[in-house]
Homo-oligomer: A and B are copies of this chain.
Amino acid sequence: MKALQDKIQQEGKVVSSTILKVDSFMNHQIDVQFMAKIGQEFARIFENEGITKVITIEASGIAPAMAAASALGVPMVFAKKTKATTLDTEVYTREVKSFTRGTVYDIKVAKSAISADDRILIIDDFLAYGHAALGLANIVQESGAYLAGVGIVIEKGFQSGGALLRKNDIRVESLAIIDRMEDGKVFFQD
């Protein structure tokens, strides 16, 4: 998505060869109009899949997932990362390791939030090592619903998440794939 590559070039901050900050439009401040375009692009890519629900993980996934759900005209569900007292006790859960933060956490989705008839699109802001997205994909598979694929705003192509998901026969569609970051610059895969 050319407009996204341009936005990353203009506003992204390369913190290191592995860390990109996009706090001006996605991970802290949300450019709501631009996010709507991202949602429309996901809707276009998956338009033939008959998607009935979009699923993501709190918190940074919520904005792009909501935009995609809005463009598709379907509900969105965000998996919770912590034990929430007000969440259903009947939950699907997976343990996820975050390499970025060096932590392990559980993601949880209420069983009532996914039906076996659902056709699910998973959306997330970043794809790095892919453990969160794979955990969510496993939850969808356990529910019996159909997993149409995973839509990612920014994939770190130099990390293993894309390969991990594709190895598990999951369709992955990333709007921008970063090849490498050097000298404060971002280089994209075509």
Contact = CB atoms under 8 A, between A and B. Distances in A.
Contacts of A69: 30, 32
A76 B27 CA distance: 11
A76 B110 contact: no
Given A59-B62, A62-B63, A85-B100, A75 B30 contact: yes
Interface in A1-53: 15, 19, 21, 23-24, 27-33, 35-36
Given A59-B62, A63-B62, A76 B23 contact: no
B32 A74 contact: yes
B113 A28 contact: yes
Contacts of A15: 86
B88 A23 contact: yes
A59 B78 contact: yes
A73 B33 contact: yes
Copies of this chain held together in the complex: 2
A109 B112 CA distance: 34
A101 B87 CA distance: 12
A80 interface: yes
Interface string A66-88: 10011001111110100001111
Interface of A: 15, 19, 21, 23-24, 27-33, 35-36, 58-59, 62-63, 66, 69-70, 73-78, 80, 85-88, 100-101, 109-110, 112-113
Given A32-B70, A32-B74, 9 more contacts: A28-B109, A29-B110, A30-B77, A32-B69, A33-B73, A35-B66, A58-B58, A62-B62, A85-B101
A142 to B, nearest CB: 17
Contacts of A19: 85-86
A33 B28 CA distance: 24
